Amino acid sequence: MFELRHRDAMGRLGTLEAGGRRMETPALLPVVSPKLQKIKLRELREMGFEGVITNSYLIHRDEGLREKALKGGVHRLLDYDGLVMTDSGSYQLYEYGRVEIGAREIVEFQDAIGTDIGVILDIPTPPDVTRERALAELEETLSRAQESVGVERRCLLAGTVQGSTHPDLREESARRMGSLGFDLHPIGGVVPLMEAYRFRDLADVILRSKLRLPPERPVHLFGCGHPMIFSFAAALGCDLFDSAAYALYAKDGRYMTPEGTLRLEEMYTLPCTCPVCSRYEAQELRAMDIGEREVELARHNLYASLQEIKRVRQAIHEGSLWALVEQRARSHPRLLEALTAALGYEVLERSDPVTKGSPFFYSGEESLQRPEVRRHFLRLRELDTQGRELVLLPEGRRSPGPASGKKYHICRASPVFGVVPQELEDVYPLGSYEGPSPPTGAQVGFMQAAVAAYAKGFGHVHTHSSLDLGIGETFEDPAGFGPGDVETKLRGMADYQFGRGAGRLLVRRIRVEWARTGRMRRLYSGKKLLATVRASDGFYVLGMEGAKRLLGLPAPRNRVVVDKEAGEFVGAGRNAFAKFVRAADPEIRPHQEVLVVDGDDSLLATGRALLNGPEMLAFRRGIAVRVRHGLRDEEGEAQGGEGDDDPG
């Protein structure tokens, strides 16, 4: 039903399949009226919308619509051949306090009219209600969910997470709803938060829900229809959005942009090149009949929304989603506040790829809390450091040799990553980032704190005179601290990538092949390829001989275990699919180089993880590990490594 193809942050570029129809995620489903839709749904399809959402309760209440839908199906009723999701009447329940249909009956009706994705009749609890009310309504929602999920049906069914703004209830709702066997999960009761610009509370609701929901299921953020927050919500793990905002804003004379909303009456020009804005000037739209103007503004709002969805997809594909989120966050102070708060959640690091096709761009002090920075500090602990004296150099300065030596541990004081050992300077993201020069005050403070914490592990500290860190003895010329050797550099790179001890296992009795650029290209043991050093990110791409050496690390480190049925195919060099994974190191992160083994811990293959460890056990569709070399492919490995420059 749901398969991932690319990812960045917690954003997921994937494919959702329902009712024989496919839709790319992240996706926006415009809310359409079953009776009074002003823009024909065929036009929505032509624009590029692969799915819409309509209200099955309104169809059920209208005798004429009900009969047409039961006879010909909801797709024919709407004259739309894309994916159709139907809401259950929860919005009417929220607005009017009651609906004239039961939980089981509305699910049966949605299935009878051929919807692709149905939604349960949940209780939409607003923010800030008492815990007693939120708990009572949550229990009623869960009772209805249990009744609904037992309905025999063909459509997918969505179980909505509720709990108001009580963090523990959101987590409890997600955990229990996730255990009931639904196909996807909307997060409900959040529209008032978005309307009040309470984006920090919105982020908490999303992340609390994501923390407990099954990772293989798509997450739908109900009522999220403004392009300003698509990238933010996608980075927190939301796959689907819906809203009637495009039409409601148009009715009120409001013009959507990714940076916010403008009022048509105050606009000098139309800052967009969509078909509407290319055809008309601002004054021409203002001069239109009110009904015609409303339709044209709605069209623009749809184009602007879809364009932002596509921009989010591109950012996920190229690994620049965090950079896009940081740009968009500057459109409103509350959004920037929410981003800073959200980056404090550890769950973000578990899903963020270890290497990306886009460099790390510093755009503000919130960048210092991004998952890449947090992961760097975690992986620094894995280094098997020989030198007991710490040498601190400024940006752009190096000591002789490629790495630290037996006496000195040589590092760069970095205003983005705090401390960067010299042996890791070519490893992503440490060797691939851009920041302001000179650094900002926030960066200097961050660097000083990071250096002070790191220096506690060393007996003596030497600091270059150009660094105002207030620590250790100062020096002018770094020439006296070195030179380190190539093997020390290679061991440090291995420890950083695979964990403590990997360097000693991988880098012994080796021969290094150098590229014409002067950079290390491949590591051999005799004629057998141990690993290729990928030029784009400085990471090792393992050969089978190198993978065998890393089996010396204690299980389950870096391992993905597949069942016996899949072992033969994986060993022949075919990809390891998630449905055949029986165990996985929980510390595996997306795009990490991993070992694929059988139940006896015998090596079958090596490759790149597309999912993190827990996801490999949860997903039933798609590739878990993209295999590079299988056991039977070992003979031809000495020619391998070509084409391994793509980190994605």
Residues assigned a catalytic role: 87
Q: Which amino acid is at 451?
A: V
Nearest of 455, 464, 523 to residue 489 by alpha carbon = 523
Is cis: bond before 556, omega within 30 of 0? yes
For residue 575, the SS3 value is: coil
Q: Which amino acid is at 255?
A: Y
CB atoms within 10 A of CB 448: 18
CB atoms within 10 A of CB 646: 11
Return d(Cα 429, Cα 87) in angstroms, integer. 43
Measured over the CA atoms of residue 563, residue 567, residue 569 and residue 575, the dihedral's sign is positive
For residue 479, the SS3 value is: helix
Buried/exposed code over 484-522 (b: 16+ C-beta within 10 A; e: otherwise): bebebbbbbbbbbbbbbbbbebbbeebeeeeeeeeebeb
User: C-alpha angle 48/6/222, rounded to 5°?
Assistant: 55
Answer yes or no: are the C-beta atoms of 173 and 161 closer than 8 Å: yes
> How many CA atoms, within 13 angstroms, populate the side-chain half-sphere of residue 350?
18
Q: Which amino acid is at 5?
A: R
How are beta strands 581-584 and 576-577 bridged, if at all? Answer: unpaired
Answer yes or no: are the C-beta atoms of 206 and 233 closer than 8 Å: yes
